[in-house]
Each structure stands twice: as structure tokens, then as C-alpha cells.
Structure 1
Amino acid sequence: MALTFSGGGSIIIPETVMNAILVVAVLSILAIVVNKKIKKARVDKAPSNFLNVIEIFVEFINNMVKSNMGENKMQYAPLMAALISFIAFANILGIFGLDAPTSDYSVALTLALFVFFIVQGTKIKSSGGLKGYLKSFTKPVALIAPINIISEIANPISMSFRLFGNIMTGSLIMALLHGALGYFSPLVTAPLHLYFDLFSGILQSYIFVILAMIFIDGATE
């Protein structure tokens, strides 16, 4: 998609970025619908199947946070729910014939940097301020400060490459199969779409969120 300005200049927006905006829009509408249904729900009546699914999802996220971060960090549950929802929906767009936003490294890196800045903000808070945060890089001895800094920077890079690499690989394999098989591709690629787009997509979103929880939890120590 290209945006053209009156002066003659233009900005090209990749399809993956537009699809990321689409995912945000869909999740926003879903959140509004869920909010309305919860407000209308009555205690003396059994919840609908839709609300049962939402309840299962919320319990799943709460159990993840309790297992990986502890019960004293349940304030991070909404953040983890938002992260896993966005990444999972973004990863499975290939089933609908759309490019997964996470197959674009800029999107994967943005997600990893989002977690990175949360981790650094948490470290500053738990260290008692910026001075304590900077001092933490010199532990146990000041000599290894460069190694600690490199290790910290490596976390978002490894997270982004892991997410991008797995989703991009699946998308590339499916594109090659569709190109090689032509009209017969639906017969072969249908079950592979379920694996690469659905199973692998949800799995990678789970792994990303698990890593985010581990890093944030470590930042509070």
C-alpha cells in the first residue's frame, strides 16, 4: 500500500504492517464485544459458550503468570494476555491467505523491543533508580560490565529472530509448495497450513510470552 502526498512524495506501507493493524482492529473489536457481554452476564444464569471460552483463556494466562512469575506478579497477566493474543492472531493469518505480520522482521523486532523496554523499566524500579540500575551491570565485578551489557542487548535480538525465523520459514515453505504444485497445491498444502500457520503459530506465540515472563521476572530480582 502506498500513501501519496500532494507534493509528489509517497510512503510505501508493507502488507505485513497493514495486516498487523488489521489484527489490532480485530482484537479491539473483540475486546469491546467481550466487555459488553460480561457486563450483561447474570450471576443466576449459566454463561454462554463464548464467555466460557474467554474464561478458559483468562485462567490459562493467570496460570502461566503464576507458574513462571509467581502469584505476587499477577499485575502482568493483562500484558501477557495482550501479547499472546496479538502474536497468535498475527501468526495464523496465513490460513486466510494473508502474510503473517511476524514474517516481517520489523514487526518481530518491535515486539521484542517492547518487552525489552518493559524489562529495563522494571530493572530500574527494582534497583532503586537509575544509579542502582547502572551499578547492576558491574556485578559481580566491574570488569564484566561489557559482557553484561551485551547479554542484555542480545535478549531482544534473540527473541525477534526466533519469532521471525520460525514464521518466515513456514511462510517460505508454503509459498514454494504453492508455486511448485500449481493447481494441485490445495490437496497437499491444506494439512501443512494447519501445522505451519496454526500449530506452529500458536506455539511460537506461547514461547515468546514465556520468554517475556522469564525476563521480566528476572528483572525484579
Structure 2
Amino acid sequence: MNVEINGPKILGYLFGNTNLPITETMRNSWIIMAFILFLCIFLTHRMQKIPKGKQVLAEKAVLMIDGLVESTMGEGCQAFSPYIMTLMMSSLFGSLASLFWMRSTTADLNTTLGWALITFVLITFNKIKYGGIKGYLKGFLEPIFVMAPLNVLSEIATPVSMSFRHFGNMAGGLVITTLIMGALKVLSNAVLGFLPDNIALLQIGLPGVLSLYFDCFTACMQAFIFSMLTMAYVGDARNS
């Protein structure tokens, strides 16, 4: 097995224009969106007044996300629940894509930066909506006007830090696992040189354990953290 650490592959070009590449991340994102859509349709198909079976799971998930949004952002914020749930599911399944022989969408900075920019727009919109344009601009001058440059940098740093945090954790796991796989192949060839070159016996076992951590535990944690940061920032913008 050849071990390489590269960015997402370019699968083709939209309308043949080399400035509009279709990448592996884009393809995998569409697959994940289709899966989430199918899951939502499946869980909500033939709903009844008395829930049972899959409807119980669907309603439980809705109640949980509504409760999480309300407890984090404050009362009257349940309108954000669909976005937070979509963000959480996209992050989780995007990270878990590697379990199904696909490159994780969250290992591409474009994905996490896109989500962070949407959150940034929500933050700015709510600051202006609840504080007015004058209040929004005045916030850059607090506590004193000389702090304006730092306040502007702080505002810009929000989406940057959110995107790099998520991307860094997922891409870091991908790089570490790939490096260990490469090292185990070299060690296997050195110790078990009598085996055919395409059989790296020492690659069996440990990589599976590492994938279980990086692909499952870290995926769940990063989806939760990114969603919590989104709720915290937007909630603070509404209450500031």
C-alpha cells in the first residue's frame, strides 16, 4: 500500500473550466447530504399521534436539540435548532466518512471555514438586529477607542479559530494515522521481509484502534464542540 498525505483529489472540472474544480470533498459532501436527507425522511415517514419505533427516536432527538439550544442560547431561540442540528450531523457524518473509504469532508479547511463563515454572518446579523447598527459599531470602541484595531481582529479571529480548530483536529488525526501506517509498513518489511511486498502484517490491529479513536470519538467531540461554540457566540450576540 502506498502511503501519501495529500489534499482532496480533483475529480473533474465544472463545464470544463479549470477554475471550477470538482473535488473529492465536494463529492463526499453531496453523498453525506443525501444520506442525511434520507435519514430525515426515513425517521419522519408515517408519523402518528402516539409515537412508537423510529418516531420515538426522531422526537427524542428534536427534544434534545431544542433543550440544548434553549439552555445554551436562552429562551426563544429554538428557531436555531434546525441549523444547529444540521451543523452537528454534517460535522459528525463528514468526519465519519473515512470509515467508509471516503476522505473526511472536515479534513478540508474549505468545509469548516464555510460553516464558520455562516456562523460569523449569524453573529453579525444578531448583533445588529438586537443592538442596532450604531451599537454594533460602538462595540468596536469599547472599553476605549484605542482598542478598535484589537476588537476588529478579535471579530475576524472568531471564524478563523473555529474553522482551524475543527480542521486541525481532523486533519491531524488523518496525518498521524497515515504516518503510523507508513512506519508500520517499513517495520513489517524489515522484520518480516520473507512476506510478499504487498503484505504488511504489522499494519493489522493498531491502525484499526487509532481509527476507532480519531474517526469516532474525535468526530463526536468536534461536532459537539463546533455546535456549542456556534450557539455560544450567536447567543452572546443576541444578549449583548
Q: What TM-score results when the alignment is normalised by the length of structure 2?
A: 0.82
Query: Alpha-carbon deviations, 1:34-69, whole Å to 9, x = none?
Result: 33x2xx23234x511x33332332232122212211
Deviations 1:59-82 (A, max 9, x none): 321222122112222221111111
Identity %: 33
| 1:9 CA displacement | 4.9
Aligned match of 2:107: 103
Asked if 1:190 corresponds to 2:193, the answer is: no
Q: 1:32 to 1:41 in 2, by over 3 A?
A: closer
Contact 1:17 1:107 in 2 (8 A): no
2:26 aligns with one of 3, 11, 17? 17
Partner of 1:161: 164
Residues 176-208 of structure 1: CA distance to partner in whole angstroms, max 9, x if unpaired?
Answer: 233333433242222221110011001001000
Give 2:194's aligned residue: none
CA contact (8 A) 2:14 2:22 kept: no
Deviation larger for 167-176 or 13-22? 13-22
CA distance in 2, matches of 1:60, 1:4: 40
8 Å CA contact retained: 1:111, 1:160: yes
Q: 2:79 maps to which residue?
A: 75
Q: What do residues 116-163 of structure 1 show as CA deviations (whole Å, max 9, x unaligned)?
A: 1111111110112x3332222222322211111111111111101100
Match of 1:3 among 6, 13, 17: 13
RMSD: 2.0
Residue pairs, 1:1-221, within 5 angstroms: 1-3=11-13, 5=15, 9=18, 11-35=20-44, 37=45, 40-44=46-50, 46-48=51-53, 50-128=54-132, 130-182=133-185, 183-184=200-201, 185-220=203-238, 221=240
Between 1:117-126 and 1:132-141, the stretch displaced more is 132-141
* 1:90-119 alpha-carbon deviations (Å, 9 max, x no partner): 011111121111101111111111111111
Q: Which has the larger radius of gyration?
A: 2
Distance across 1 between alignment mates of 2:97 and 2:87? 16
The structure where helix makes up a greater share of residues is 1
TM-score, with structure 1 as normaliser: 0.88
- Which deviates more, 17-26 or 173-182? 173-182
Q: 1:169 to 1:42 in 2, by over 3 A?
A: same
Q: Give, in whole Å, the separation in 2 of the partners of 1:94 and 1:9.
A: 27
Tell me, which stretches of 5 or more residues in structure 2 are unaligned?
A: 1-10, 186-199
**Count of aligned pairs:** 214
Instruction: For 1:96 and 1:126, locate their aligned partners in 2 and report how far apart those are by CA, in whole Å.
Output: 44
Separation of aligned partners in 2, 1:210 and 1:10: 35
Deviating above 6 A after TM superposition, structure 1's stretches of 4 or more consecutive aligned residues are none
Q: CA deviation at 1:168?
A: 0.3
Give the distance between the partners of 2:233 and 2:15, measured in 1 at CA.
42
